[in-house]
Amino acid sequence: MIVFDASIYEKAAVKRACADYRELADIRMTEQNGSFRCEIRNPKGDPQLIADEFGNYVLNLTVMMEDTAD
């Protein structure tokens, strides 16, 4: 389970990352207590590597979305 603080990360970034990673894993997002929780199921490869790269991708998407909002 990867947890993203909703006050830092864009919901749209998390949702897009889940969709973009669909060929690498089934990633389910839920919202709970001011956070986005992502459960990685059936990874096609090293689960830790996929989780780490997914987290980096969400961060990158969030930064890009914030840059375009300015």
Using pLDDT thresholds of 50, 70 and 90, give the confidence band for residue 10.
Answer: very high
Average pLDDT over residues 24-51: 97
pTM: 0.92
Per-domain residue ranges for the chain? 2-69
Structural element, H or E, at residue 57: helix 47-69
Given this model, what pLDDT does residue 12 score? 97
Alpha carbon of 54 to those of 61, 66, 67, 69: distances in Å? 11, 18, 20, 23
Q: 14 pLDDT exceeds 70?
A: yes
Residues 16-27: pLDDT tens digits? 999 999 999 999
In eight-state DSSP terms, residue 70 is -
How would CATH label the architecture of 2-69? 2-Layer Sandwich (3.30)
Look over the chain and give the mean of its residue pLDDT values, rounded to a whole number. 96
How many whole angstroms separate alpha carbon 51 and alpha carbon 64? 20
